[in-house]
Amino acid sequence: MKILNLADIIRLKQVEHVKNEKNILMEIRHPFIVNLFWCHRDDTSIYMLFEYVCGGELFSYLRNSGRFSSQTANFYACEIITAIDYLHQKNIVYRDLKPENLLLDKEGHLKITDFGFAKKLTDRTWTLCGTPEYLAPEIIQSKGHNKAVDWWALATNSSKVANDGDSSNFDDYPEVDFRTARALEDSELKLFEDF
């Protein structure tokens, strides 16, 4: 279960990202995507119940092994391609493909998770988002981007997984303090009335 504090969502200016995430996850069902089963909101939090994925992050396996064999890397790349193609057929761009967002189920198959940057897209968008080392040039250059950024990220991930396995920045993510909860104003709660 993913529990999001409403005050934090507002403070971090993530209201639209959270709404997009929920709406997209309610629309999709795919064997290589973590499926959302249930969603609820009260006056303090949003609750999202996902299918249980017990294998952990691909990131952890890559970190321990340094890199994967070509056969293993190709196997995972094929599953990612299948999932990304499914999203693109629904006009959804994912925009945050990285080993930390790839979970493994009990049979060793991938499940893409964390749709916070995903977006319905018919043409282009100019939002600067994603993880810096996987960003396509058009995102960095603010030229507007489309679904092609997911294929760039796949190529970058495939290179990391099969070739260099560079893990130099795996521990560079700051801790998040979830103890900053506060009561919300009625005007802030209205931002989530359609949730």
pLDDT tens per residue across span 14-48: 998 899 999 999 999 999 999 999 999 999 999 99
Provide mean pLDDT across the span 75-88. 94
pLDDT tier, 169 (very low <50, low <70, confident <90, very high otherwise): very low
pTM (2 decimals)?
Answer: 0.77
| Beta carbons of 130 and 109 less than 8 angstroms apart | no
**Nearest-10 Cα torsion for 36, 40, 44, 45:** 0
Share of the chain above pLDDT 90, in %: 47
Rg (CA), the chain: 17
pLDDT tens for residues 89-148? 999 999 888 889 999 999 999 999 999 889 998 887 767 666 667 677 776 677 777 777
pLDDT tier, 172 (very low <50, low <70, confident <90, very high otherwise): very low
Q: Mind spelling out the 3-state secondary structure of 70-94?
A: HHHHHHHHHHHHHHHHHHHHCCEEC
Report the residue count for the chain.
195
Provide mean pLDDT across the span 155-184. 52
d(CA 77, CA 74): 5
**Which residue numbers are catalytic?**
96
Structural domains of the chain sorted by starting position, each given as residue range(s) with its CATH number in brackets: 2-167 (1.10.510.10)
60-66 long-range CB contacts below 8 Å, 24 or more apart?
Answer: 61/104, 62/99, 62/160, 62/161, 62/165, 62/167, 63/167, 63/170, 65/165, 66/165, 66/167
